[in-house]
């Protein structure tokens, strides 16, 4: 039978119970039966689609909740790191203040953060350097100077690069702790004998360029090898020359080789020499403190240009003064 003809017919559905009750029937149009089947299929499809949607949303909610929890943990960790860094900065600031106090007790100048850039810079031993910056002095009637050992804090530490910032901060904390312990020990030593550290000639007498080091060198006045008993520091004419440590002026006059010269006795066998000055500002017998201006830079005596000849004696023998200077 064609489908179009059946569309207008009716279908009878019989319901036969297992009891003694009489059967029941429902007479439905054929189209209603088809529509019911189609509707039931759509209902099943809708239920399935809704179930899939809900399951996907649940996964999205779980992922979002996990992401939010991870973000909250990262925020907390970032805040903790920020607080930790602030504590480290506070620790470094306190150590900076302690270092200033140590320098004050030792009689050293308190330098600014940028001062290190203007400290004595080394100059390679070239003929051009010797022509531009002063050198001088003469051959000393002695051989190599006696060695003198002084303990110093090793403040140069390498921080190993790491992918984990926590490890880097932990390493930085340990460095900070070690540095603090060293400063504490140094503070105790300085306070135990402040007079010694103030008299120790470890302050740079002038900020300038190192044009000639300690030891054997080629004479700036020829090719002859000679023993240079100190170091030459070049700076503009008239630059103030400062005492490297507390002491008593034992000589303030002219020497044949070094011109206008100041010699200071710091006690404990240590004596410093300041030569080639243009003007002397202290007299023999005068007591000076570390950092006092004692002369003005010049080119007196046997010299090629304005510079300071700075020499250090220990128990009667010349030694390399850079052993005591803080920037070496």
Residue 272 Cα distances to 41, 83, 232, 248, 266, angstroms:
107, 49, 13, 10, 8
Alpha helices in 122-249 (DSSP H): 127-132, 165-192, 194-199
Q: Give the pLDDT score at 59.
A: 80
Q: Give the pLDDT score at 118.
A: 38
Ramachandran assignment for 137, one of left (phi > 0), alpha (psi -120 to 50 degrees), beta (any other):
left
- Give the Cα separation of 274 and 263 in Å (integer): 6
Q: Which two tokens stand for residue 234?
A: 């070049």
pTM for the predicted model, two decimal places: 0.52
Q: How many domains does the chain have?
A: 2
pLDDT digits (tens, 9 = 90+) for 87-99: 878 877 877 777 7
Among the candidates 41, 64, 87, a domain finishes at: 64
- Give the Cα separation of 211 and 274 in Å (integer): 15
Query: How wide is the angle at C-alpha 223 spanned by C-alphas 301 and 273, nearest 5°?
Result: 35
Q: Give the pLDDT score at 164.
A: 66
Residues of the chain scoring pLDDT < 70: 1-8, 30, 103-164, 190, 326-328
Among the candidates 26, 49, 64, a domain finishes at: 64
For residues 145 and 9, state if they share a domain: no
Domain range holding 20?
3-64
Residue 69 domain-assigned?
no
pLDDT digits (tens, 9 = 90+) for 9-29: 777 777 777 777 777 777 777
Residue 215 Cα distances to 43, 119, 269, angstroms:
102, 22, 21
Residue 268 domain-assigned?
yes
Residues contacting residue 217 through CB under 8 Å, at least 6 positions apart: 125, 225, 226, 228
Write the CATH number for 215: 2.70.70.10
> Rounded to a whole number, what is the distance in angstroms from the first to the last CA of the chain?
113
Residue 70 domain-assigned?
no
């Amino acid at each position: 039978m064609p489908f179009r003809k059946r569309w207008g017919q009716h279908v009878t559905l019989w319901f036969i119970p297992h009891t003694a009750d009489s059967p029941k029937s429902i007479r439905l149009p054929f189209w209603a039966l088809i529509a019911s089947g189609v509707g039931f299929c759509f209902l099943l499809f809708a239920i399935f689609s809704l179930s899939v949607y809900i399951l996907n949303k649940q996964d999205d909610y779980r992922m979002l909740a996990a992401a939010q929890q991870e973000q909250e943990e990262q925020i907390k960790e970032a805040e903790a790191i920020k607080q930790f860094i602030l504590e480290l900065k506070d620790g470094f600031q306190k150590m900076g203040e302690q270092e200033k106090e140590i320098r004050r007790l030792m009689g050293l100048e308190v330098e600014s953060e940028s001062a290190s850039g203007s400290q004595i810079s080394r100059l390679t031993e070239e003929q051009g350097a010797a022509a531009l910056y002063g050198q001088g002095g003469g051959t000393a009637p002695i051989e190599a100077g006696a060695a003198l050992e002084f303990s110093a804090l090793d403040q140069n530490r390498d921080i190993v690069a790491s992918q984990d910032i926590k490890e880097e901060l932990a390493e930085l904390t340990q460095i900070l702790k070690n540095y603090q312990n060293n400063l504490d020990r140094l503070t105790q030593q300085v306070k135990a004998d402040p007079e010694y550290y103030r008299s120790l000639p470890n302050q740079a007498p002038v900020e300038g360029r190192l044009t000639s080091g300690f030891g054997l060198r080629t004479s700036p006045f020829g090719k002859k090898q000679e023993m240079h008993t100190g170091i030459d520091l070049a700076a503009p004419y008239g630059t103030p020359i400062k005492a490297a440590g507390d002491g008593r002026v034992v000589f303030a006059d002219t020497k044949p080789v070094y011109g206008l010269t100041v010699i200071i006795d710091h006690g404990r066998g240590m004596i410093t020499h300041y030569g080639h000055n243009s003007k002397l500002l202290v007299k023999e017998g005068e007591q000076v403190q570390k950092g006092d201006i004692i002369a003005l830079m010049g080119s007196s005596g046997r010299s090629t240009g304005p510079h300071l000849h700075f020499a250090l004696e220990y128990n009667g023998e010349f030694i390399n003064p850079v052993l005591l200077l803080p920037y070496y």
